[in-house]
Structure 1
Amino acid sequence: MEKSYRLKSLGVTLITLCFGLFFLNAQSDFKTYQGTVIDGVTEEAIELASLNVLKTNISTISNSEGAFTLKVPEAHLNSKLKIAYLGYNSYVIPLSELENDKAVIKLYKAVTALSPVSISAFKNAERLVRKIFEDKHHNVGTPSVFMTAFYRETIKRRNRNVSLTEAVVNILKEPNTSQQRDAIQLSKARKSTDYKRLDTVSVKLQGGPFSTIYMDIMKYPEYIFTDKSISGYQFSFDTPSVINNRSVYVVNFVPKSEKQPIKYLGKLYVDVESLALVSAHYTLDLSDQKQARNLLVKKKPRDVIVYPLEANYRVDYQQKGDQWYYSYSNLNLTFKVNKKRQLFNKVYTLASEMAVTDWEVNSEIKRIKNKDRLKPTVIITDAISGFSDPNFWGKYNLIEPNKSIESAIDKIRKNIKKQKKRENKNTANG
């Protein structure tokens, strides 16, 4: 009989250890563009550059190798594409100039110089951070919004992929002023887990897309910054930056006391003009291994100890008009599982990310029916058949897989072909 042990939600992360042996209107006609975003000087790949079709909400991001795939409905083929990344000048190019499937887009670092007025406006970094949350109703999108997003989750044991989950989801994003939580509907998904590689321990991300949507700290500030918790951090200004050709404050934060049970440190990127949060990059302080021991654990067997080794988080926002909307988030968690009477510890890395690829203001107050809503405790079940179809995603935009994920997908496809051959052979012999 299978037993499940859940690990405690730390901010937005919830894991399950199992000992034993898982809206928006469709567009039928579209064109696909592919390319790579690189630094114009070093020619190094730029990861997580945003690509947005102007005068629409259609977008995608580049992967860890700078590669992107963008699917654009025929009605917008005469549009322009805007490419932006933090610290770089944004770049606009007509889609017609991306005819080559191997287009290379070069971005160049911006030189930032804030005016004396901007610098003197906030001499106290903590006061700026408090202002962000106090006045968020001026900047953060207030209407209800329907979003389409692409979600990917990978689990590795050491350096080997052992589980891959991908999904397109519909999100009913409730206003930030509302007490209602966002609702998620699964539109299309595929998943494959190599249980042999997992041996006797199966690691799953419980909550799936919820693990990333709860990183929207403007909607869910309770996971990191509240009126009380802000006082527990030391804030300081770093060198300012630029995104979308707009000046950005960069604020560092570190915990004031080593005695805090949960300590984060990182950077906040704040638009100088609107004081809206543009991006947040932060990590969980795990320097005290004794204190961090079992920190993520909610429930586990007595003979198991979990040591978090690394926990990193990121959330990004996109501007539309004078409002800012959630656009991307990711988490990367590495931990060691030590089971008594086993000679070797097992090290796992879990990565989860979600990118909004299209959205519209919910002017008609559409809802997602209760029966269609994913639960925050969901674990997406295995559905490997989708990996055998290279056109599985159809019209949907996605985060282009990097070489590691491409290799995993190829391996899954080969295993499916082998399985089908065996089935056909058995049928013929039968």
Structure 2
Amino acid sequence: MRPIIFTSFRHTISVQLSTLFLAALLLGFQNVKAAFFQQEESQNYEQYKGVVKDSESKDILVFATIAIEGTNISVITNTEGEFLLKVPSSMTDARVRISHLGYDDKIIPLSELKSSNNKIYLDIAVTELSEVEISMPKDAAEVVRKALSKKGDNYLGDHSIMTAFYRESIKKRRRNVSLSEAVVNIYKQPYSSSRKDVMKLYKARKSTDYSRLDTIALKFRGGPFNTLYIDFMKYPEFMFENGQLDYYDFSFGRTTLINEKPVYVINFKQRPDISLPLFYGKLYIDANTYALTSAIYNLNVENRKEASEIFVRKKPARAEVYPTQAAYRVDYRQNDGKWYYGYSNVQMVFKVKWKNKLFSSTYAISGEMAITDWKKNTAKEFVQPRERLRPSVVLSDEVSGFSDPNFWGDYNVIEPEKSIETAINKIRRKLRRIKS
């Protein structure tokens, strides 16, 4: 029997193409007045800029986490290894923990950080273990099943409200043609609950250079939900639907030590007799608690026709559109012995080939979201249906653009990569010329 893996997945991650520039979904972004629990004007803050690198090779470390100990404040390094951390001025005695998969954590007093040009080096900590040093299960698939069955024990069991920063971009070849950013509130359900999380928009801005999109308009349908649904432990059905673990081959990689804790590395890929596009990659599972700490994986897009049907909702008749890459990553963080969703990333590359045209166009679409603060939802706050973001949302083109440098206030964001920063600065210059 053929698996039906993408019933839900197709709904949450899709790309929309059309010869016309489709009207953006108007979600009333300008009228959103609800405040987050982290109020923008509530207190002064200090900001710290820097870069995180490998202590030996001096290579930059992407997706490193910089967090304030004893709080839920954190941020992620960008593709250049850079970070911008905003901390309330009252936290004079705070300590900063810097962590990255495969490296020893480093703890630095906040007082030792400068406002800019901080260089932080992490030491490699992954140590290979022989099977003699740890009791190895016989079945890798059973480890995955056990991790899924223990999510109620290992992950947050409380209702919580999380502040998250989301960014998506579309590039044609190597040039940015669309940039979107948003701060959202995630009303997170307990991991043991089957109820889906709810999101509410606080701030958003976007700019699109349609002249570089030729006659194609790409819409990243799903927006922040694309990254939220990669929370594997909350939404395992989007990778392994009920009973579909049997469609995969699981095997052990070399068990490792990460921060002095043994971690199983589980490789997985679709069975050779399964023809539909499924996933392949690695799962990092704590050997003692069976908590999934990270997952890095790809979608098999070798079958061009079927892979295209997953993502492309609408396209011009004269164009062939198909993905050449679909990569995903999710990282979890721990607080008081409980794990929770901390960061996720989606990277997709599409090829657009027109009939009777010699050359094709390549578009790279990416989305990433990081939890920057959270609290327990002890008051059982909820979002009215009319205020909720829809899982089919497309961030509006009708927001304020990139004209306000203080747009985010004291919210922690992911530092933009250099190419994005350059594009934003160009947009700002255009806006200044228009105003003058």
Query: Retained in 2: the 8 A contact 1:85–1:243?
Result: no
1:321 corresponds to which residue? 336
Alpha-carbon distance, 1:50 to partner: 0.6
Are 1:24 and 2:44 counterparts?
Answer: no
1:220–1:111 Cα change, 3 Å: closer
CA drift of 1:9 comes to 4.6
What amino acid does structure 2 have at the position aligned with 1:213?
A: L
Describe how 1:30-429 pairs up with structure 2 within 5 A: 30-114=45-129, 119-289=134-304, 291-383=306-398, 385-421=400-436
Please give the alpha-carbon distance, in whole angstroms, between the structure 1 residues aligned to 2:182 and 2:258.
29
- Please tell me the residue identity of whatever aligns with 2:382: R
Alpha-carbon displacement from aligned partner over 1:97-134 (angstroms, at most 9, x marks no partner): 00252111110101425486773241221110110111
Return the offset for 1:183: 0.9
Gaps of 5+ in 2: 1-7, 25-35
Q: How far apart are the structure 1 equivalents of 2:365 and 2:415?
A: 18
Quick check: 1:88–1:107 contact (8 Å CA) kept in 2?
yes
Separation in 2, partners of 1:75, 1:246:
34
- Corresponding residue number in structure 1 for 2:33: none
Q: Residue by residue, what CA displacement relative to the aligned partner does 1:128-164 show, whole Å, maximum 9, x if unpaired? A: 0110111211111111110000000000111111000
What are structure 1's unaligned runs of at least 5 residues? Answer: 1-7, 422-430
In structure 2, relative to structure 1, the CA distance for the partners of 1:177 and 1:345 (3 Å cut) is same
- 8 A contact 2:162–2:187 mirrored in 1: yes
Q: CA deviation at 1:332?
A: 0.4
Name whichever of 110-119 and 323-332 sits farther off: 110-119
Report which structure shows greater RCO (CA 8 Å, sep ≥6). Answer: 2
TM-score by length of 2: 0.90
Over 3 Å counting, the alpha-carbon distance change for 1:337 and 1:128 in structure 2 is same
Q: If the length of structure 1 is used for normalisation, what is the TM-score? A: 0.91
Render the CA deviation track for 1:62-121: whole Å, top value 9, x for unaligned. 111111010011232311000111111110010000025211111010142548677324
Count of residues paired in the alignment:
415
Q: Measure, in 1, the Cα distance between the counterparts of 2:186 and 2:244.
A: 29
- SS of 2:364's partner is strand
CA distance in 2, matches of 1:242, 1:71: 31
1:357-414 deviations in Å (ceiling 9; x for gaps) = 0001111111112221111111111256441222211100000111111111111111
Residue type of the alignment partner of 1:64? T
Answer with 13-22 or 80-89: which moved more.
13-22
Partner of 1:5: none
Q: Displacement, 1:242?
A: 4.1
CA deviation map 1:264-303 (0-9, x unaligned): 1100011122110000000011234455454423444443
Q: Distance in 1 between matches of 2:137 and 2:242?
A: 19
Alpha-carbon shift at residue 35 of structure 1 (Å): 0.9
Question: Could you tell me how far 1:187 is from its partner in structure 2?
Answer: 0.7
Partner-residue secondary structure (3-state), 2:429: helix
**Partner letter of residue 25 of structure 1?**
Q
Q: Which amino acid aligns with 1:119?
A: I
Cα separation, 1, equivalents of 2:252 and 2:130: 15
Q: 2:31 corresponds to which residue?
A: none
* 1:426 aligned partner: none
Q: 1:223 to 1:194 in 2, by over 3 A?
A: same
SS of the residue corresponding to residue 96 of structure 1 reads helix
